[in-house]
Amino acid sequence: MKKLTSLLVAAAVALPSFSFANAPFVPPVPEIAGKAYYLIDFYSGQVVAASDPDKRIAPASLTKLMTGYLTYKAIKEKRLMLDQQLTVSQKGWTTGGSRMFLDPKVPVTVDDLIKGMDVQSGNDACVTLAEAIAGSEEAFAQMMTAEAKRLGMVNTQFRNATGLPDPEHFTTVHDLGILATAIIREFPEFYKTYSLKSFTYNGITQPNRNLLLYRDPNVDGMKTGFTDDAGYNMVASSRRDGRRVISVVVGTASPEARAVESSKLLNYGLQFFDTPKLYAANKPVSEIPVYKGDAKALPIGFTSDIYTTVLKGQAAKLKADLTTSQPVIAPIKAGQVVGKLVVSLDGKKVLERPVVALKAVEEGNFFSRLWDSIKLLLGW
């Protein structure tokens, strides 16, 4: 491996100093009254705080995040349309728990069903969407589990679209963090629905049960849940000063408690940490030599923006080292991994990302390849 010079541009990460007696103040995570919790930075993907992140828990209506994910995906793939009208089945109409009060005699649009699911947490809406997408709720639950595995939710299994209790229906706060992040990243147009404070259907107005929407202007979603077994659960997201953090808190004692505990986590992440943008997507961070190609230099970088999360005042101390595999010989495909970036703070690795070719390099002509072969042989 050939090691290049440090590529982290100081201006990109320089932040005001925040220190105590020349050492960073490491604030303790606030005490959270719940069975488990998880706090993740949306942009860097780094975990800021967690307790029992992989403990198996009953998600209750947080299940509807996956029901929503598959619904949004079906709409994006044009397997379902927002103005498409559906009719609730007997099973959907008689499903217990929270409801949007569908009328089996009155068709309802997919758009209204999404609002009924995301705002009113309607189990009748979830079953109706599940049956429209997969033919049955049972088949839809299999789709949910398969999609969870694809997203990296390795400790999750679904048995229904609603979150009603089932001993084989489980997840973790870690996995719910993955799911919430995926919804915000992949379906921002549908994520906006989670910020609605109320929704009226069939003459009945129901408020969003996420109390933080009424108390904190920075909170713009996502979902609450409750069963006797699960307790009061919440996934919440807050955005401030260009940052976004996502919290998952489960097993609290009341609707008030889940709001208070979630607020503690969100504010902790936003108050004491920063998430500087280190590199922009598709912008070269360096060039490396290429042999036997129709070009002699290859621009390298990243296909997505690179962020990292650190304590406030510590970003200026970040150091980056980029290593590439040498020699690099054409042909090279755009997006091909050619090295790695390691970012460290005080000698401790905080981030590692693959570095890729930002453009393709085809094979050169016969004479170019021959000359480069000679140079490689002689070590020039």
Distance, in Å, from the CA atom of 94 to the CA atom of 124, rounded to the nearest integer, reads 8
Catalytic residue among 61, 237, 247, 263: 61
For 286-307, b/e burial (b = at least 16 CB within 10 A) is bebbbbbbebeebbbbbeeebb
Residue pair 311/269 in contact by the 8 Å Cβ criterion: no
Asked if 61 is an active-site residue, the reply is yes
What tokens does 17 get? 């100093």
Residue 281 phi, psi dihedral angles, 5° rounding = -60, 135
Catalytic residue among 35, 64, 115, 223: 64
Task: Name every residue whose Cβ is closer than 8 Å to that of residue 167 and which is 6 or more positions away in sequence.
Answer: none
CA 365 vs. chain centroid, Å, equals 45
Cα dist from 304 to 85, 278, 324, 337, whole Å: 38, 11, 19, 14
Cα dist from 104 to 49, 80, 86, 93, 192, whole Å: 45, 20, 10, 7, 28
What tokens does 66 get? 């996956």
Asked if 349 is an active-site residue, the reply is no
Asked if 325 is an active-site residue, the reply is no
Longest dimension (CA), the chain: 82
Catalytic residue among 44, 89, 98, 121: 121
- Count CB atoms within 10 A of the CB of residue 111: 14
Residue 295 phi, psi dihedral angles, 5° rounding = -140, 150
Catalogue the active-site residues.
Answer: 61, 64, 121
